[in-house]
Amino acid sequence: MIGVSNVSAAQLALLCERAAHRPMIVQNRCYAAFGWDRAVRELCRTHGIVYQGFSLLTANREVFLDPTIRAMAETYNTGVAQVIFRFAMQIGMVPLTGTSNSRHMVEDLQVDRFTLTPVEVEHIETIGV
């Protein structure tokens, strides 16, 4: 099993074109301001590669201030972090979380108890671009 990290869409396309063995997973730092790495995610989907996003929270602190996302968190009786993790899962991303706070761990594991609407997903998908 081969995985790569922090690759651009051009690098991944070249790797998929030329490598004898494609990676099974791509793990990238994921920024809202860059469209949540959409081009890389689309290449992953095309080639059957798992996309894992990391730093979804720490790289996107401005997202926590967005009133629409805050309203989503209130609607679903959850936190903004969980809205972002749920969004990631709904667009086919495996969110990489990291916390030593047991309450956050429990909250993060409960993101499957709600589903964002297509309009909400689109809002988050385009928030930083």
Over the stretch 42-85, which tens digit does the pLDDT of each residue have?
999 999 999 999 999 999 999 999 999 999 999 999 999 999 99
Q: Is the per-residue pLDDT at 7 higher than 90?
A: yes
Please state, in angstroms and rounded to a whole number, the distance separating the CA atoms of residues 93 and 49.
11
DSSP tag of 78: S
Indicate the range of 19-28, 31-40, 84-93, 103-112 predicted with least confidence: 103-112
DSSP tag of 126: T
Residue type at 106 in one-letter notation:
V
Q: Is the per-residue pLDDT at 2 higher than 80?
A: yes
This model's pTM is above 0.85? yes
Q: How confident is the model at residue 106, as a pLDDT? A: 85
Q: Cβ neighbours of residue 41 under 8 Å, at least 6 residues apart?
A: 51, 91, 92, 93
Residue 118's nearest CA partner among 76, 90, 94, 96 is 90
Q: What angle do CA 2, 86, 59 make, to 5 degrees?
A: 70
In this prediction, residues 89-111 reach a mean pLDDT of 88
